[in-house]
Structure 1
Amino acid sequence: MSSIEWISVGPGSTYLGSNNRAIVLGAPGPRHEVSIQYSYEISKEALPLSEVLKLSDSTSLSISSESEWQLAYDRGLITEGTGIEILQDRISSSYWGKICDGRAFLVDGPNLEICRQWVRSKAAPKYMPSDAKSPKLARLVRRDAREPNPMAPRLPKNPPRRRMIFEEVSIITLLGIIPSFLWAHFNASPGYIATGWPGLVLGGVILGLLSGLFWRPKQPTWWAEGSKMFPRR
């Protein structure tokens, strides 16, 4: 452990998650602020995961949380790496319910490992099954012992479903159903709309849903204010 070179990181804020909820081009969201109110040290180099696990089991060191890793990266303190770095966090499909004070986000049940993948000197988020066979690295963190803050800001446990349903209905109507009827109006035989409207509606719904593979409106970013989180566009 004496050979590990450490980087000091002071308190600060960083942003995680995506505000793009498209199925193919998007990523787990929502985008949110994390406010870290403590200082810590992170290892300058990523180590083999097996070595990191041994050290974390026998010492007070731990694998870096995603928030701690990202704050150091945003400040230019982590500047290079290789391959895939595993973080302490685990996610199912979103960050809803996360406590945003720097601690790792862990969910029960089936989950994905949150990682950072280095490509051309840049690190990007990556989510992968825990049983993936890729070689894995990780960075250690050491911090003072502290009690969890019971007033730490936290994302709502569930997304705003009413707003999302309204958004989906609007998109399906504007991008699917209305164009479907316009096409029939200008191209189909007389009387087709009167008899074939169920098919036009169904086709429009399918078209609108398929648009979600590649596009959905930009979602709000959640900001920390005191002990609460608020959405802003």
Structure 2
Amino acid sequence: MATPTLDKMEAAAAASPFITVTFRIRRFNPEISDESTWQDFQVEIDPKERVLDGLHKIKWDLDGTLTFRRSCAHGICGSDAMRINGKNRLACKTLIKDINPEKPITVEAIKGLTVMKDLVVDMEPFFQAYRDVMPFLVTKGNEPTRERLQSAEDRERFDDTTKCILCAACTSSCPVFWNDGQYFGPAAIVNAHRFIFDSRDEAGEQRLEILNDKDGVWRCRTTFNCTDACPRGIEVTKAIQEVKRALITRRF
């Protein structure tokens, strides 16, 4: 077999889709230190791949101690929310080429929740707020013998807020939540909205009273961080304002 010439090897290298990207990751391991540190990793990667793919390469090939959450890897489970270049995103939906790979890509845990290790945070306060707003259909009377029918118009009223995947990107982008973890946060309010405006539900008043609490919907300062951070495109700020309006008018 003929040995490839230097020219052919250089041409092949030039045609390669891979580039060298620096991932600058904020590391934290409570078993080693109480302080977090930044660590750089050099990764050869196709810019059309995702940040999640880069994290996989680091964990599988460079440092197996790197810790992060991920599950479906297709933007549905919401488990890989993190701060990428200072903005809350899903690592599985963020392409390398879209975040300027010529500079280091910074990756750190989302804010406002206690970091347990590296990119993993304690989600329990977030899910407790979600549970507190009663995110389930409440009806009275006997169990029906057939499905509860709903018009397309009635469904449209709350369709946007059914898209929430509980990734916490919106809540952990909220300055109020950063400073006071008692605030319910945008995600909990969005999920309350989904049932408050559901024509089949009968607990709207009860949810509104829950959100009328001092740590409820009135803590929102309408900064739109939550709407900007939502990977599903939910109009979070709009939903919060609609809940506020329902509290004032008692019309929903």
TM-score, normalising length: structure 1: 0.25
Which structure has more strand as a fraction of its residues?
Answer: 1
